[in-house]
Amino acid sequence: MTQIRLGAVKYLNARPLVHGLDRQSDLFSLRFDVPSKCSGLLHSGDVDFGLIPSIEYLAKPNYSIVPGVSIASNGPVGSVALFTDRPVAAIRSIAIDNSSKTSVALLRLLCAEWFEIEPKFVTVPPDLPKMLQRCDAAMLIGDVALWTDPDVSGLDKVDLGEEWTAMTGKPFVWAVWAGRLDVELGGVIGALQGARDAGVIASDEIAREYSGGDEDRIEIGQAYLSENITYGLGEEELSGLRKFLNMASDLRIIQTDVKLTDVKLRFYET
């Protein structure tokens, strides 16, 4: 069987989903990138499966999803947030890190439907002090958002996962494994699901290894993987995903020729 090329998100939250896959070099090659790069590699055909921002599933008509696996949250996510020194209602500009289209789309949706503000969005590198020099608030994602302590700078942290669940009562799906239909599967789907199961069990060990001996980060990382992030893709997660895609389409946050109310998510058979 031809080696399967995997593109995974480089952040801590993705590590349980690839646990042990680096030891299966006969089956997989594995690379890590920011979410937008993972989706770009899949769109260009440079990887066979990508752990892509959920909104990117709609970018191509020939993708399927690995069933039962996602990066999701039900309430606070911890790693996608606004940092600001003022009430949300007073925010007039937001600096954004465009590394994940899903996070940016969610922010735009929340501003329109939940926060009821119409800020200017400015794309800049994820450097919090510089972002806040330019704008009233800054959106950070991934490890940078997770490790940033807002109390040190006297800031408020507005967790976008928490705000989504407060608005909808549903989980939020941040990323899914997606691949093309023409890929020879073999045991790939089972291997990805098995890596998820093993990674969830080993989450404390994963956080410890990832955090490089920093005890504060180890503690935060272990709590994050066990309390904030979930890795299933059941009916509740799928309901949240469909709601997000439909709301983003209705608000023209995403552009697609497909009527999302008619979309049936396609899954690989196991």
**In whole angstroms, how large is the CA radius of gyration of the chain?**
18
Q: Fold for domain 80-168?
A: D-Maltodextrin-Binding Protein; domain 2 (3.40.190)
What pLDDT does residue 260 have?
53
Cα–Cα distance measured from residue 270 to residue 12, given in angstroms and rounded to the nearest whole number: 27
Give the residues of the chain that fall short of pLDDT 50. Answer: none
Domain ranges of the chain: 4-73+171-214+229-262, 80-168
What pLDDT does residue 187 have?
85
CB 66 within 8 A of CB 192: yes
What pLDDT does residue 30 have?
94
What pLDDT does residue 240 have?
96
Cα–Cα distance measured from residue 112 to residue 110, given in angstroms and rounded to the nearest whole number: 5
Q: Do domains 4-73+171-214+229-262 and 80-168 have the same CATH topology?
A: yes
Q: Fold for domain 4-73+171-214+229-262?
A: D-Maltodextrin-Binding Protein; domain 2 (3.40.190)
Report the predicted TM-score, pTM, of the whole model to 2 decimal places: 0.94
Q: Which two tokens stand for residue 126?
A: 């994820």
What pLDDT does residue 140 have?
96
* Number of residues that this document lists for the chain: 270
What pLDDT does residue 262 have?
53
Residue 244 to residues 240, 251, 262, Cα–Cα distance (Å): 6, 11, 14
What pLDDT does residue 1 have?
58
Give kind and range of the element (H or E) at residue 5: strand 4-9
